Structure 1
Amino acid sequence: MISELEARVSRKLMLRIIPFVMLLYFISFLDRVNVGFAAMTMNKAIGLSPAAFGLGGGLFFIGYFLFEVPSNLILHKVGARKWIARVMVSWGIVSAASAFVVGPNSFYALRFILGVAEAGFFPGIILYLSLWFPSRQRAVAAAWFMAAAPISTAIGSPLSGAIMKLPPIWGLADWQMLYIIEAVPAIILGFVVLKYMTDTPSKAHWLQPEERDWLIAKLKMEADAKQSHAGHTAGALSALRDPRVLTLALIYFGTSAGLYTLGLWAPLIIRQYGFGSFETGLLAGVPSILAVIAMIVWAKHSDRTEERTWHVVIPCVIACLGFVFAGGATSALMIILALVVVNIGISAAKAPLWAMPSMFLSGSGAAAGIAMINSVGNLGGFVGPFAIGWLKDVTGGYSAGLYVVGATLAVSAVVTLLLSRQSKQTPVPAAERHGH
């Protein structure tokens, strides 16, 4: 049984922190994948082939990969409030500048720079949540935060489709309007972060003194218990060399390949069945609504049973089968059903997976390790979209690329099982395991 004080603190943390970081991630994800809708008219306007579009879409993750770990270490040093604000304003400016690309090279350059600008945001928030939420709540907090990605697709897809139907303003084409309109909230929210976000519990004046003292003591007790464990990693360099970090990155690679293949290519795959921009947006959004529900329910079940491995393996297998089904689809209904299966699988795998790093990482080790998992894993966001574009050029269809992306998820499932078998040789103390 949890005490009345713990319940009160939990409620305040969920209400104060989670809706705000979800809003930030919503805007982040929208700016990351709106290129899939811009492509409907941009590709022809600036002369992008499917392979060139897939390459440009994926170059985002190369910039992201190179700057992720340094960015998160800076966040750990200067505090989340200042650094997240910097990230948001800079990515908003770059996203707006994407409206003025004139050909493949400028498209490639701005996608790469967007990745650099946004590097550190996602692992920074995951790290931030670990500084506030006791282990018992951490997975559900992460699940709610990550639910913003499918919500962004569910709401952002029809919104992007609607913007693409606007008449030209100031001589700007529909795809240019899309980039500019959807970049503005990121810049505004960057300044809101400076006013609203609190770096650490010790500065949380919105908690009562006894609530603040309880939270600080609880987090310190968990940190001390973790550091007494032989398998614990606290240093940045140690975390980057830790085989568990690299293994989790490989698992995350498959889920990222699937997620960003959906974000970049789903609008074009759906549109080939003859739908207009707005209808395409609605159909791309439907699977994401179901994914949000699956994500939260699955994360709660994972927390309640204190089981992680099968809560990652099963969704990865489901998403893999969804991609295989999508590759063989011959009608609009089949492709939408396949996208529902894929969305549910990928989204459900995320929260249990992100509950794993904080079981053995803390301090600068957590900052570096979480960033490393995200940056290497997000290279899947380069490989997946690029494979689809390249294989479409070679084969004339989407099937081969969809099968390749499905295979990366099969690898994720197998590697998760291998990691679990390895981990069983090093038992984790009950105090640390609880909630993970």
Structure 2
Amino acid sequence: MWVPAKHRSHILALFYLAQPLTIVIGAPLAALLIQANGLFDLAGWRIMFFGVAIPAILVGVIAWFYLTDKPADAKWLTPAERDWLVARLDEEDRAKGASASKGHGNPLAALTSGRVWLFALMYFGLIYGLYALAFFLPTIIGGFEARFGTHFNVFQKGLITAVPYLPAAIVLFLWSRDATRRGVRSWHIAVPALIGAVSVPLAMQMGSPAATIAVITVLACAIFSALPNFWALPARFLSGAAAAAGIALINTVGNLAGFVAPYITGMAKDMTGSYQLPMLIVGAMMLMSAALALAIGRTSRERTPEAVAANAH
């Protein structure tokens, strides 16, 4: 609703940069907070939870009063900036309305659109990989002692957890900059998703902690390269109420992976006694995302925003 298509991939990349950089800073900081056991007569894990929650609450309160619903109401923009932004977004909406598939201008049609559901499944696979990385990386690191005979304290585990995310932030920025320069193509999502699909099960085959973390770093780079570029695609085909409904559906189905992934991973781990099968499932989910990205790219004939506008004129 706020960013013209030409700049969307770049802005989303800056937005998503927050996530890996948060882990880089937050994982060691969380470990330090856990080690502050007894502060204010609280257990270390409670202190860590407060440290995570309080900044989020404060930012939420600020956002409530500072952010506006529409660019036209943004007091932090000059009148000229507001007029330019509103005019550019309106022009893009008209272009999409003139050339997009019939019915994509209303929310019900967006919810019943096959393409929207393909986007939702693609996002599900990417988020499945993201949750595997976020929630099971510490578990995998904790298992180094049994597998390799190593021992790390809580702070060292926090530092190791942070390692994959700094390269991921750098690759995310560079990959999205290329997508902005070329215009986002389906392969900007498919290539990193395919790399992630291969690297997930490969990580479990490594013979040392360093090699395992190196492969997990490749996985992190792949996931965070795909996510911001993914969100540039649905907005090409949806506008107005259809965009709100379609993106909500994509988000809902995608984030169901956060509910499903821990259960499937836990059950597969209990059945087999290792993380080999769970990581193969993660790889299969990301492979599905890569295949869907290529399929959507082929069926849409790589409709760039510029092409949409040209056809509308």
TM-score, L = length of structure 2: 0.91
* Match of residue 192 from structure 2: 315
* Match of residue 244 from structure 1: 115
Q: Report how far residue 193 of structure 1 moved.
A: 1.1
SS in 2 for 1:164: helix
1:428/1:134 CA distance change after superposition, 3 Å: closer
Once the two structures are overlaid, the 10-residue window that deviates more, 410-419 or 165-174, is: 165-174
* Match of residue 135 from structure 2: 264
1:431/1:407 CA distance change after superposition, 3 Å: closer
1:426/1:308 CA distance change after superposition, 3 Å: closer
Q: Write the distance in 2 (CA, Å) between the matches of 1:355 and 1:314.
A: 16
Contact 1:359 1:433 in 2 (8 A): no
Residue 278 (structure 2) pairs with residue 407 (structure 1): no
Residue 262 (structure 2) pairs with residue 391 (structure 1): no
Q: Write the distance in 2 (CA, Å) between the matches of 1:429 and 1:181.
A: 45
* Match of residue 25 from structure 2: 155
Contact 1:308 1:353 in 2 (8 A): no
Q: Write the distance in 2 (CA, Å) between the matches of 1:288 and 1:268.
A: 16
1:433/1:354 CA distance change after superposition, 3 Å: farther
SS in 2 for 1:147: helix
1:400/1:433 CA distance change after superposition, 3 Å: farther
SS in 1 for 2:164: helix
Q: Report how far residue 383 of structure 1 moved.
A: 2.9
Q: Report how far residue 426 of structure 1 moved.
A: 8.3
Q: Write the distance in 1 (CA, Å) between the matches of 2:58 and 2:304.
A: 47
What is the letter of the counterpart of residue 133 of structure 2? Answer: L
Q: Write the distance in 1 (CA, Å) between the matches of 2:306 and 2:58.
A: 44
Q: Report how far residue 401 of structure 1 moved.
A: 1.0
Residues 119-178 of structure 1, C-alpha deviations (whole Å, 9 max, x = no match): xxxxxxxxxxxx222111111111111121111222111111111111223543222222
* Match of residue 71 from structure 2: 201
Contact 1:318 1:342 in 2 (8 A): yes
Say how many residue pairs are matched: 304
Runs of 5+ consecutive residues of structure 2 not aligned to the other structure: 145-150
Contact 2:6 2:305 in 1 (8 A): no
Higher relative contact order (CA 8 A, sep 6+): 2
1:19-418 equivalences under 5 Å are 131-231=1-101, 233-273=104-144, 274-418=151-295
Q: Write the distance in 2 (CA, Å) between the matches of 1:425 and 1:148.
A: 29
Contact 1:251 1:416 in 2 (8 A): yes
Q: Report how far residue 303 of structure 1 moved.
A: 1.9
Q: Report how far residue 393 of structure 1 moved.
A: 2.2
Over the residues paired in the alignment, what is the CA RMSD in angstroms? 2.1
Q: Write the distance in 1 (CA, Å) between the matches of 2:302 and 2:91.
A: 25
Contact 1:299 1:352 in 2 (8 A): yes
* Match of residue 124 from structure 1: none
Q: Write the distance in 1 (CA, Å) between the matches of 2:11 and 2:75.
A: 21
* Match of residue 148 from structure 2: none
Residues 55-87 of structure 1, C-alpha deviations (whole Å, 9 max, x = no match): xxxxxxxxxxxxxxxxxxxxxxxxxxxxxxxxx
Contact 1:325 1:338 in 2 (8 A): yes
What is the letter of the counterpart of residue 315 of structure 1? Answer: P
What is the letter of the counterpart of residue 249 of structure 1? Answer: A
SS in 1 for 2:35: coil
Q: Report how far residue 384 of structure 1 moved.
A: 2.7
Contact 1:327 1:403 in 2 (8 A): no
Q: Write the distance in 2 (CA, Å) between the matches of 1:395 and 1:339.
A: 22
Q: Report how far residue 285 of structure 1 moved.
A: 0.8
Identity of matched residues, %: 38
Contact 1:240 1:369 in 2 (8 A): yes
* Match of residue 67 from structure 1: none
Q: Report how far residue 350 of structure 1 moved.
A: 0.9
Q: Write the distance in 2 (CA, Å) between the matches of 1:254 and 1:223.
A: 29
1:283/1:425 CA distance change after superposition, 3 Å: closer
TM-score, L = length of structure 1: 0.66
